[in-house]
Amino acid sequence: MAMSKRKRALTAFAVFDILLLAVIVGIFLVRNSTVPTSDELSEMGVAILPDQPALSDFQLTDHNGNSFSKQDLAGKWNLLFFGFTSCPDVCPLTMNALKLFYNDLENTDYADDTRVIMVSVDPQRDTVEAMANYVQRYHQEFVGLTGEHEVITTLAKELYIAFSKVPEHDGNHDAENYQVQHSGYIAIVNPEGGYFSVMREPHSRESLTRAYFAVRQIDGSIE
């Protein structure tokens, strides 16, 4: 009997999640039958970049040990978040929000052409194995990228992402005893490799869904 009650409770939570997504998407579509205005986009924390500047070519390594370049961004809407695996707060919160958001896309028109990528701002410690363990903790389809610090710095600058190493002030002078301060923005690169938009933090399941649907609606209006 106890197990039966537990199953009913879990089923109720699952149904609630599905209904919540339907409400979020439904409200967005009803309120935004026209293209969102600049004020509405600003309220969502979304900025659309004029002319969608193309990124320079780059060469990094994904969490499977394969080469990943600008060409690998083609054909997908890419959400790039810059973080690191030992980040104590912003990264796990953002990655969890991205996981919930990504799961919610499953039954939408955007399920097949959306990709989430985490780029390490701490390549000194974030090995391929570390990135694999980290990103797949959130979703098996998430991509983790690491590589040379200079390459990551250049890519981050083109996406207006700032980061810097900050030593810990605990008396331990170990070279690996540090944190990394970094922007929490999520950059959106379109299927043509252009920097289309940016979503400001704080990020939540609901805010990501609303902002991303707005971005895709904007794209549809300029095609």
Which pLDDT belongs to residue 10? 45
Check which CATH number belongs to the domain holding 148 and give it.
3.40.30.10
Side chain identity, residue 187? A
For residue range 133-188, list pLDDT tens digits in order: 999 999 999 999 999 999 999 999 999 999 999 887 655 556 678 999 999 999 99
Whether residues 26 and 45 fall in one domain: no
Please state, as a whole number, how many other Cβ atoms lie within 10 Å of the Cβ of residue 203.
Answer: 23
pTM for this one? 0.81
Q: Which of 164, 131, 134 is nearest to 147 (CA)?
A: 131
Strands 67-69 and 59-62: antiparallel
Beta strands in 54-162 (DSSP E): 59-62, 67-69, 77-83, 114-120, 143-146
State the helix-helix crossing angle for 205-222 and 90-104, rounded to 10 degrees. 60
Whether residues 44 and 7 fall in one domain: no
Which pLDDT belongs to residue 35? 72
Which pLDDT belongs to residue 38? 82
Please state, as a whole number, how many other Cβ atoms lie within 10 Å of the Cβ of residue 127.
Answer: 16
Calpha distance 187→156 (Å, rounded)? 10
Residue segments in the chain with a per-residue pLDDT below the cut of 70 = 1-34, 169-175, 220-223
Whether residues 44 and 150 fall in one domain: yes
Which pLDDT belongs to residue 176? 76
Segments forming the whole domain that contains residue 44: 37-222
**Tokens, residue 35:** 């293209």
Q: Per the structure, how many domains does the chain have?
A: 2
Whether residues 125 and 210 fall in one domain: yes
- Buried-state track 25-42, b at ≥16 Cβ within 10 A, e below 16: beebeeeeeeebeeeebe
